[in-house]
Amino acid sequence: MFFIISNDKELRADGRAYNELRPIKIEAGVLKRADGSAYLEVGGNKILASVYGPRESYIRRLLKPNTGVIRVRYNMAPFSVDDRKRPGPDRRSSEISKITADALRPALMLENYPRSMIDIYIEVIEAEGGTRCAGITAASVALVDAGVPMKDIVVGCAAGKVYDEIVLDLSEKEDKEGQADVPIAMMPRTGEITLLQSDGNLTEEEFAKAIDLAMEGCRKVNELQKEALMKKYSIE
């Protein structure tokens, strides 16, 4: 049974309402040797993001005379999941690395750093569903911490369909048992969506509802991003 009736309200198996996020913790500037860094917890997810750069590109084939280049490396630790994961990159991590770079790029003012590169490392220490969105959220905070000029902070969140209901921020169990998943990334100030994926079967109405719900979730997470940055840089 997916929904539980409590005080005349339908709750999900973990006690959340359909539009409720998992508990979130964000901390900026957690690594001394990185130019920028962030630590994020979303439910059972624990993710560390670090940024190095902008710096002069030492790889000739990546040099662009009029703009900078970003590279993203998303990696799941072998102990991050129940079944030990083989160390090193795989097809899934390579795909998420690429879509994360694509999601972040529109927010970055790379034209200010010609012939330069920015390296972003996302390490998933513990995984519990929704790591690509959590990684984007953490990486964006790390970029701000590094002082990289941005048009807006990018934030990721997902909605999905579970037992014929559209819900926000799927847990690992919901992701496995669900019928569809719609992860997005957006710039909250303008509402511009920089990542949109859909996996599963949704009607046109359900798809629109999932996007609206995910955007609502992004705005909530964005407030926590700003709070984490203000906490680090506030003058007492």
pLDDT of residue 52 exceeding 90, the answer is yes
For the chain, give the number of residues: 236
Is residue 5, in this structure, part of any structural domain at all?
no
Is residue 53, in this structure, part of any structural domain at all?
yes
Is residue 226, in this structure, part of any structural domain at all?
yes
Is residue 91, in this structure, part of any structural domain at all?
yes
Is residue 12, in this structure, part of any structural domain at all?
no
pLDDT of residue 236 exceeding 70, the answer is no
Mean pLDDT on 77-103: 83
pLDDT of residue 53 exceeding 50, the answer is yes
Residue 235's pLDDT is what?
58
Residue 9's pLDDT is what?
56
Residue range(s) defining the domain that contains residue 175: 19-233
Is residue 50, in this structure, part of any structural domain at all?
yes
Residue 188's pLDDT is what?
96
pLDDT tens across 110-167, in order? 999 998 999 999 999 999 989 999 999 999 999 999 999 999 999 999 999 998 999 9
Give the range among 60-64, 153-157, 158-162, 176-180 with minimum mean pLDDT: 60-64
